[in-house]
Amino acid sequence: MLLPLEYHFPDNTIPAKRLDKLLASGYFRTGNYLMRTRVLYFNDEILNTLHIRILLQEHHFSKKQKKILKKNKEKFTYSIQPFNITIEKELLYKQHKKRFKGNASNSLSGFMYDNYNKNIFNTFEINIYDEGKLIAFSFFDVGITSMASIIGIFDQQYSSCSLGIYTMLLEMEYAKSMQFKYYYPGYVAYEPSQFNYKLRLADSFEFYDWYSKRWISFEKRNKKTKVNDFFNEKMQHAKKWLDVFKLPYQELFYPYFYMGSMYPKSDCVKGVHHLQIQDFDIEGLYYIVEFHPEKMELMLSGVTVHKYQFEDYIDFSETYDSKKWKRVLLYLHPTIVVRNEYELYAGYIFLQDLFKQHLLPPPVPNTEFQNPNLNR
């Protein structure tokens, strides 16, 4: 099994020792739960991710980092305290959110609480002020031996001051003063990305290796850890098989692949990368080929769009664009594992006949997802 990501939903407040253990297992916080991911869909790209950490006892600030610390400490004031969400911070988050495409939370409180008014982590904040005006802040969680950076936000008018890096350097400085052993800045990508600024924090890192379940020197990363490349290699076989029988298809990325891990008992589609066969005989029914991360096989499926409770009508013309799906998808059963071009073609003909017999009117399942946070 090679899940693109895994979730951990705590039932109650997370003790400091438990947080240390989860961080050491490759998890990081998002909202009011934790996850670990091999791939990330960001700004219309699928990125291979690596979770990294810094051994604080071996870390020394570089000359450039010391300069950033000295310059900003002379120019601005800062405070460290238990975290608190204010209107000032919400306004900075709103400004920050505009820099990114995708499904970012609409508010800072939504980002931190996952829309539930309870924080189950031991969270602190660093605030940066310019003559009393809040110009940057960061949130971080603390355990017994570990600190995990959650988010850092700064006023874009001060972009020349390296405030994003500055808050992380202050976090590390504070972590050292508290004699923490590890600092977890989150994840970086193999590919050039907006996350890789974290690699400027230290000369050496460790990354979490999914195969050995150990932390390994960052220099020892290799092709094996590029999970999305493995998925793509499998999809190249599927493309050749479709070409053999001249079945037209469109490549689409699926940004909502995480729903399959978040709600494992649902019919949410799990693959990251799809080949959609161009067959539209039944409105709302789509045939896809994907590499299924649980079955570890190429799979042919009929899928349809999830209908949300507030919707009376679905505009199927808005289901996808030239690059990606724009809606959450659900499997229609049966799904078929395919291992060669003949199984793919035979499976496609079988599903066509089956769905034409049984899916009139067109399928629109209405799955009510049980949010894991509801019963806290």
210: CATH: 3.40.630.30
pLDDT of residue 130: 97
**CA 96 to CA 92: how far, in whole Å?**
6
Query: Is the pLDDT reported for residue 192 higher than 70?
Result: yes
With 50 as the cut, is the pLDDT of residue 159 above it?
yes
Which tens digits make up the pLDDT trace of 124-157?
999 999 999 999 999 999 999 999 999 999 999 9
Q: For residue 97, what pLDDT is reported? A: 83
pLDDT at 129: 98
Q: What is the pLDDT of residues 287-305, one digit of tens each?
A: 999 998 888 899 999 999 9
> pLDDT digits over 2-37, tens only?
566 788 888 788 999 999 999 999 999 988 889 988
Q: Is residue 168 part of a domain?
A: yes
Q: For 331-340, what is the mean pLDDT?
A: 95
3-state secondary structure of 179: coil
On whether both 138 and 236 belong to a single domain, the answer is no
Number of domains observed in the structure of the chain: 2
Same domain, 20 and 33: yes
Q: Is the dihedral of CA 66, 71, 74, 80 positive or negative?
A: negative
Check residue 364 and give its pLDDT.
Answer: 57
Highest mean predicted confidence (pLDDT) among 94-103, 163-172, 187-196, 281-290: 163-172
Task: Label residue 58 exposed, middle or buried (CB < 10 Å: 0-12, 13-18, 19+).
Answer: exposed
Q: How confident is the model at residue 206 (pLDDT cuts 50, 70, 90)?
A: very high
DSSP conformational letter for 64: H
In a domain, 67, yes or no: yes
The reply to whether 277 and 158 lie within a common domain is: no
Instruction: Please report, as a single letter, which amino acid is at residue 147.
Output: M
The average pLDDT across 189-209 equals 87
Residues 260 and 343 in one domain: yes
Which phi and psi (to 5°) does residue 69 adopt? -60, -50
Q: How far apart are CA 175 and CA 182, in angstroms?
A: 8
Based on the domain organization, do 198 and 213 belong to the same domain?
A: yes
CA 266, distance to chain mean position in Å, is 19
Range name among 10-24, 31-45, 333-347, 360-374 with the lowest pLDDT average:
360-374
Q: Mean pLDDT over residues 35-48, rounded?
A: 79
C-alpha–C-alpha distance, residues 19 and 285, integer Å? 43
From 193, 225, 257, the end of a domain falls on 225
**Could you tell me if 218 and 264 lie in one domain?**
no
pTM over 0.85: no
- Is residue 307 located within the same domain as residue 182? no
Residue 332 in any domain: the answer is yes
Q: Is the pLDDT of residue 116 over 70?
A: no
Residues above pLDDT 90, as percent of the chain: 59
Does residue 251 have a pLDDT over 90?
yes
* Residue 97 placed within a domain: yes
Average pLDDT, the chain: 88
Residue 56 confidence (pLDDT): 97
Residue 371 lies in a domain: no
Let me know whether 284 and 192 are in one domain.
no
Tell me which of 209, 225, 241 is where a domain ends: 225
How far, in whole angstroms, is CA 240 from its chain's centroid?
30
221 or 184: which leads in pLDDT: 184
Q: In the prediction, which pLDDT does 376 show?
A: 45
Same domain, 252 and 218: no
Residue 368 in any domain: the answer is: no
Q: Domain range spanning residue 57?
A: 5-225
Q: Is residue 375 part of a domain?
A: no
Residues 240 and 161 in one domain: no
Residue 110 lies in a domain: yes
Q: Give the contacts of 107 (CB within 8 A, at least 6 positions apart).
A: 90, 93, 94
If phi > 0 it is left, if psi is from -120 to 50 it is alpha, else beta; for residue 319 that is alpha
pLDDT at 92: 96
Residue 103 has a pLDDT of 64
So what's the pLDDT on residue 375?
A: 47
Q: Could you read off the pLDDT of 50-82 as tens digits, one per residue?
A: 899 999 999 999 999 999 999 999 999 999 999
> Is the same domain home to 57 and 173?
yes
Burial class (CB in 10 A: 0-12, 13-18, 19+), 45: middle
For residues 173 and 118, membership in a common domain is answered with yes
